[in-house]
Amino acid sequence: MQKTKRYISLKHNAIRISAAACFVGLWTAVQGASVPTQDVSAKPADALRQAVGLVLSGGGAKGIAHIGVIQALEENDIPIDYVSGTSMGAIVGGLYAAGYTPQEMMELLTSPGFSYWSSGKTDPAYVYYFSRDEPTSSMLTIPVAPGDSTARHSSVAASLISPLPMNFAFMELFAPYTAQCGGNFDRLFVPFRCVASDVEAQCKVVHSDGSLGDAIRTSMTFPIVFQPIRVDGRLLYDGGIFDNFPVDVMRADFAPDIILGVDVSTPASGPQTSLMDQIDKLVMHRQDYSMDPARGIKVKVDLHNFGLLDWEKARQIYRIGYDTTMSMMDSIKGRIHTRVPSVARQTRRTAFKAATPELRFDSISVNGGTPRQNAYIEYVFRGRSHEGTTSDTISVDRAREAFYRAISPGRLRDLSPHAVYNDSTGLFAMNLRAAVRNNINIGVGGYLTSSTNNYIFAEIDYKTMSYSGVNAGLDAWLGQSYLAAQAKASLVLKSAVPSSLGLDAVVSRSKYYESEHLFYQTDAPTFNIHSEYMARLHWEFAATRRGRLSLGVGYGYLRSSFYRNMLRQGSGVGSYMDDIGRDRSTYSLGQALIRFTANSLDNIQFPTDGSSYDLCAMGVLGRQWYDSHDGILGYGERETSPQWLQLGVRTANYWSLGRHVSLGLTSDLLLSTRKLSGVYSADIADAPSFVPTAATAGVFNPTLRATSYLAAGLVPVYKVNSALSARVVANVFAPLRPIEQTDIGTLGDGLGSRQGGWFDGIQFFGEAQVSYALPFATIAGYANYVTGDGAKRWNVGLSFGFYLPAPTFLR
């Protein structure tokens, strides 16, 4: 048996049995296909060999009940000679027709893989982190294509759920069975039909041949939610639009002696306000779920307490389908006298699976993009070591990895693979159709809060897809407390290990306050204004599938401007009135660094699963100046030549402990040989700060600043559903040696600085958050508390969007 794949949890079997075993198995199956439970002489002639057709209705997640129905039928040796289905009924019916057992179907439909591709999400295990763009605060992306009249249409997604993960999954699931039956659904393990809808022609379409995967996919393509599939030039949608209970299809195509019709639909009761309910009411035609009792038996499964998207309740739904069928088993057996012993059915299923070809490719072809884009995608699938050769074949594992490597950069709107079988070689050809995004895109978004920590974000990016792709962009952050601009450019190198050479330049200005203030409060005193001008040249390359390694050199000009008295310990807000001007601390620095990053978190700011790592080691040297506005230090300027080594480590790990509970552990470590300048206000203004949440980013808290520190956090999360969650962030901050005030010479008044005792000044920070994830941003409410005398202890607020500022020079 072919090894079970992690991505879809279950794959078709590829058992190769001997010719003799096949012959014996088939003979046994035929002989056991019609075994009456009673003396056949006591029954009418037409009862000796009944043909049974199974009809499965649509119903989203409620269609999982069909698997329970099939389980009950098989346990009681009820034959299933034909199957027809719509939407979810087509998925279950198609899997059964491909030889899946009920247990195998449940394993597939409850697997993480199914959860990912049915929701349009990429399994983190297959994300190529190196190829991904850095996340930004953009909420809306608008393609720009000068002279292209179709550009305005491409800015609108064709569906709510991305088709990309499902594209490969359906090919992987069903292509071997399409090859086995030669595209004739009558030659499957059980003859099969499914129904789709041609909305333009206003009619249903019955699939009896062609690609099994495409047929099933068209039958379940719910409008707006999933992207329509083009078959023979027609865009096809969910079969439930015109026929959600294809009894007439079963009669017309197979004419069985008796039909078992399984109806999992639920009548609407009360206001239907969810998005799925509204779409359902808008597009679905009036349905007829009746069945002529003379022609068969209707199994009505009561699922009124379940919705179309209740996938997490799969086991419950399955059980209801099973129990409902078992409660009707006496009636079913009274009408169906033919029996198929489980041994005979399993023998025939094993023989069918043994004849299923292994999904392996000997050729790759790409169309839909430019010649350079098509050649690049083909190169991703073949790999550098196979250029110019056709001797090696490509396994489905390697093809899957290449598929996700191709889509990871986000340059493809669609990539649709089709596997075409070659009888003479026993191998498949993969034909890929690509839809490439425009090279130029404009993004807009921001981070809006009830405090002063707001900004509007805008970006324009230029990206190409080729062997030596060029990426460039301009980003801007515009806010009351935060202003920044970034220019970036990189060249993707054609190498055995994916790599790129890039240059970034950033200008930023941050204002820090004693605590959070309302958005329109403009008279709040500014503790510190920090400005940075930096440029960095870096060479990056992939460090395994999930990581990125970067080597870089850079230059930074950093300046902090502050009221000296406001930064001193024990000073109140009013102390700044004692100053008539600001002091300035300025650095001119060079750096060399090495950095490793990896990220698989499921949400940028409010994760519930996954991990992230950021490790950076750097060496820094340069010049530093301190200018006092009043010459109180005895001279107007103090100049030093700082140099230090620094190691920074940030980690976040989240584990799912159940359907509703996750637990996160975070850490932030900074170790540095950086020495103090001797002026307290300058040292505390320039010191790195611990920022546990976005709400604390604009708050100046001296007790959370140090040249070296260790912070750790615990984050329990309660997930109400996939969008709504509540969490508590609890952090402990421990400076290795806090920055303390001391006197300078005979001036007194605590103007100087020194290193305190080891792990003195440990602080606590806690924040309670409630967040709701939208497709483009997150809405959150929070309340936080921090110890220490340097900031307001309690803060509350609301936020919308993601807080993702520009890169900084020293972290």
Low-confidence ranges of the chain (pLDDT < 70): 1-48, 145-158, 268-286, 384-391, 514-526, 565-580, 630-637, 744-750, 789-791
Asked whether the beta carbons of 75 and 103 are under 8 A apart, the reply is no
Q: Please give the Cα distance from 376 to 364 (Å, whole number).
A: 12
Give the range of the structural domain holding residue 371, as residue numbers without chain letter.
Answer: 360-436
- Residue 505 sits in the same domain as residue 399: no
pLDDT of residue 646: 98
Say how far apart CA 626 and CA 447 lie, in whole Å: 34
DSSP labels, 563-620: -GGGGSTT--GGGGGG-SS-EEEEEEEEEEEEEEEEE--SSSSS-SSEEEEEEEEEEE
Q: What is the 3-state secondary structure (H, E, C) of 508-546?
A: EEEEEECCCCCCCCCCCCEEEEEEEEEEEEEEEEEECCC
Helix (H) or strand (E) holding 494: none
Residue 45: predicted pLDDT: 40
For position 40, what pLDDT does the model report?
A: 31
Q: What is the pLDDT of residue 791?
A: 59
pLDDT of residue 627: 84
Residues 546 and 486 in one domain: yes
Cross-strand pairs, 727: 717, 769
Neighbour-count burial of 772, counting CB atoms closer than 10 A to its CB (0-12 exposed, 13-18 middle, 19+ buried): middle
User: Quick check: 502 and 493 in contact, CB under 8 A?
Assistant: no
Cut 0.75: pTM above it: yes
| Residue 2 lies inside a defined structural domain of this protein | no
Rounded Cα distance, 735 and 710, in Å: 6
User: Whole-angstrom distance between the N-terminal and C-terminal Cα of the chain?
Assistant: 51
> What is the number of alpha carbons within 13 Å of residue 273 lying toward its C-beta?
2
Domain limit, last residue, from 436, 462, 479: 436
Q: What is the DSSP code (8-state) at residue 17?
A: -
Q: Within this chain, do residues 651 and 756 fall inside the same structural domain, yes or no?
A: yes
Domain boundary (321, 354, 387) is at 354
Residue 421 Cα distances to 182, 230, 237, 347, 418, angstroms? 9, 20, 26, 26, 10
Q: What is the pLDDT of residue 577?
A: 44
Contacts of 433 (CB under 8 A, 6+ apart): 366, 367, 368, 414, 415, 416, 418
For residues 176-186, b (16+ Cβ closer than 10 Å) or e, as one string?
Answer: bbbbbbeeebb
Domain containing residue 24: CATH number:
3.40.1090
How many separate domains does the chain show? Answer: 3
For residues 483 and 465, what is the distance between their CA atoms, to the nearest angstrom?
Answer: 32
Q: Can you give the pLDDT at residue 382? A: 86
Q: Based on the domain organization, do 507 and 631 belong to the same domain? A: yes
pLDDT of residue 284: 61
Residues 222 and 243 in one domain: yes
For residue 295, which of 52, 40, 86 has the smallest C-alpha distance? Answer: 52
For residue 808, tell me if it sits in a domain: no
Select from 105, 122, 74, 124 the least CA-distant residue to 173. 105
| 736 shares a domain with 771 | yes
Amino acid residing at 204: K
Sheet of 427-436, strand order = 394-395, 360-367, 427-436, 412-422
DSSP string for residues in 51-64: -EEEEE---GGGGG
Q: What integer pLDDT is reported at residue 512 of this predicted model?
A: 83
Question: Is residue 365 domain-resident?
Answer: yes
151 in a structural domain: no
- Asked whether residue 554 is domain-assigned, the answer is yes
In a domain? residue 5:
no
| Residue 399 is assigned to a structural domain of this protein | yes
DSSP string, 688-715: -B---SGGGTTB--GGGB-SSEEEEEEE
Q: 456 pairs with which residues across the strands?
A: 446, 478
Contact assessment for residue 696 and residue 765, using Cβ atoms and an 8 Å cutoff: yes
Give the per-residue pLDDT at 384.
54
Q: What is the CATH number of the domain that holds 384?
A: 3.10.20.310
Residues 646-682 have pLDDT tens digits of: 999 999 999 999 889 999 999 999 999 999 988 888 8
Distance between CA atoms of 252 and 242, rounded to whole angstroms? 17
The reported pLDDT for the residue numbered 687 is 94
Which of 380, 412, 436 corresponds to the end of one domain? 436
Which residues 6+ apart lie within 8 Å of 765 measured at CB? 690, 692, 696, 704, 729, 730, 731, 733, 784, 785, 786, 787
Query: 218-260: per-residue pLDDT in tens?
Result: 999 988 888 888 898 899 999 889 999 999 999 999 999 999 9
CB distance 176 to 357 below 8 Å:
yes
On whether residue 8 sits in a domain, the answer given is no
> Which residues face 533 on adjacent strands?
507, 557
Residue 674 and residue 649 share a domain = yes
**Whose CA is closest to 600, among 166, 162, 123, 120?**
123
| CATH at 759 | 2.40.160.50
Could you tell me if 57 and 41 lie in one domain?
Answer: yes
Looking at the structure, tell me whether residues 402 and 482 fall in a common domain.
no
The dihedrals phi and psi of 103, each to the nearest 5 degrees, come to: -65, -40
Question: Do 425 and 514 share a domain, yes or no?
Answer: no
Angle, helices 65-75 vs 88-97, to 10°: value is 40
What CA–CA distance (Å, rounded) separates 724 from 661? 12
What whole-number distance in Å separates Cα of residue 49 and Cα of residue 283?
Answer: 41
In the block, residue with structure tokens 């991990």: 611
Q: Are residues 303 and 379 in the same domain?
A: no
Does residue 326 share a domain with residue 205?
yes
pLDDT at 750: 59
